[in-house]
Amino acid sequence: MNDIINFGSINVDHVYSVNSLVQEGETITAIERNLYYGGKGLNQSIAAARAGGRVHHAGLIGGNGEGLAEYLASAGVDTSLINRTAVEQGHAIIQVDRKGKNSIIVYPGSNHQIGREYINHVLSRFPSGGFLILQNEISNVSYIISKAQELGFHVVFNASPIDSSLPEIPIGKLTWLMINQTEGQALSGKYTPDGIMAFLHEKHPHTGIVLTLGEDGVLCLQGDTLLSFGVYKTEVVDTTAAGDTFTGYFVSSLANGDSLETAVRLASAASAMAISSPGASASIPYMRDVLSMLASNNVPYVEKRLSAGPF
């Protein structure tokens, strides 16, 4: 099994349950508020660990975030590389409506203090060949991607959230790009799933692409092979961290040497389970539960060769 290093954000999530998401110019009253540990990085580390991966989290704990490292460690994640900063811990303000849909504001805080010296130190601790996960919530993302690729890591980048730095990301250096439809649109200027895949594949033929489409399933493209999966149907309570759960399970499965089909199947089932309970990291299932769901529930998939025709 390969090591998984996650250079990832760590946040405290302030989650407000609301009847419907606040609109421009509107003031609304929340039904309740809960605090959870989150951040796309932390969630993805926990998902990868719950999937059975050997996960090392690198990132910064801010002034008021000590419990976060303990939380990661209690999930089986190696936290020995995490550093401290006096800057305030990153946090997120999350609204979740009655249908489980959300909207999120992230305040980067400590997550934007990650500097090159620390990055070089972390990367020097691992042999080449492992997997490195990143999201777009920390500083120096492009530097980490370039350096890690040079050192022989398989770099997996989840292009979330979208911001002005996205066009600068060296996508061609990634082993895997993980996106949803909105992120795909931002990166390609195309609106349909096929259009997004075709555009990104033509520009970056050596980068695998996973495009998650919510209720419409998942597309996964690597080289000449395109896999298209349906979804596992579950009750929607809170969609927060569904994408993080997908990424964590997907990478853990690949690091374990599984086939692409198995990796997507496990990731899809785990993220479907995550949306049926509240919170971010709190909703991420364990592998034993994912396997028992898969034993009684399987979605078909279609495999296609790109060389056989256009998208």
Options 39, 59, 62, 193; binder of ligand RIB; rule CB under 6 A: 39
Smallest distance from ligand RIB to CB 110, Å = 12
- Cβ neighbors of 47 (< 8 A, separation 6 or more) are 241, 244, 245, 246, 247, 248, 249, 252, 270, 284
Q: Does residue number 280 form part of the binding site for ligand RIB (CB under 6 A)? A: yes
Options 68, 72, 92, 179; binder of ligand RIB; rule CB under 6 A: 92
- Nearer of residues 13 and 78 to ligand RIB, judged by Cβ: 13
According to DSSP, residue 233 is labeled -
Q: Which residue is nearest to ligand RIB (CB)?
A: 38
Question: How far apart are alpha carbons 42 and 49 in whole angstroms?
Answer: 11
Size of the site for ligand RIB (CB under 6 A): 16
**Strand 102-107 vs strand 90-96: parallel, antiparallel, or unpaired?**
antiparallel
Options 3, 137, 183, 238; binder of ligand RIB; rule CB under 6 A: 137
Distances (CA, A) of 49 to 3, 42, 241: 11, 11, 15
Angle at 308 between CA 307 and CA 311, to 5 degrees: 85
Q: Does residue number 3 form part of the binding site for ligand RIB (CB under 6 A)? A: no
Options 13, 78, 183, 238; binder of ligand RIB; rule CB under 6 A: 13
Smallest distance from ligand RIB to CB 243, Å = 6
Q: Does residue number 255 form part of the binding site for ligand RIB (CB under 6 A)? A: no
Options 8, 38, 53, 217; binder of ligand RIB; rule CB under 6 A: 38
- Nearer of residues 103 and 128 to ligand RIB, judged by Cβ: 103
Q: Does residue number 193 form part of the binding site for ligand RIB (CB under 6 A)? A: no
| Of 227, 206, 236, 248, residue with least CA distance to 302 | 227
Residue pair 28/7 in contact by the 8 Å Cβ criterion: no
Smallest distance from ligand RIB to CB 160, Å = 7
Q: Does residue number 95 form part of the binding site for ligand RIB (CB under 6 A)? A: no
In the chain, which ranges are E strands? Answer: 3-7, 11-17, 32-38, 54-58, 60-61, 83-84, 90-96, 102-107, 131-135, 154-158, 176-180, 208-212, 218-222, 225-229, 301-305
Smallest distance from ligand RIB to CB 101, Å = 13
Q: Does residue number 50 form part of the binding site for ligand RIB (CB under 6 A)? A: no
Please tell me the total number of residues recorded for the chain in this structure. Answer: 311
Give the binding site for ligand RIB (CB under 6 A). Answer: 9, 11, 13, 38-40, 43, 92, 104, 106, 137, 240-241, 243-244, 280
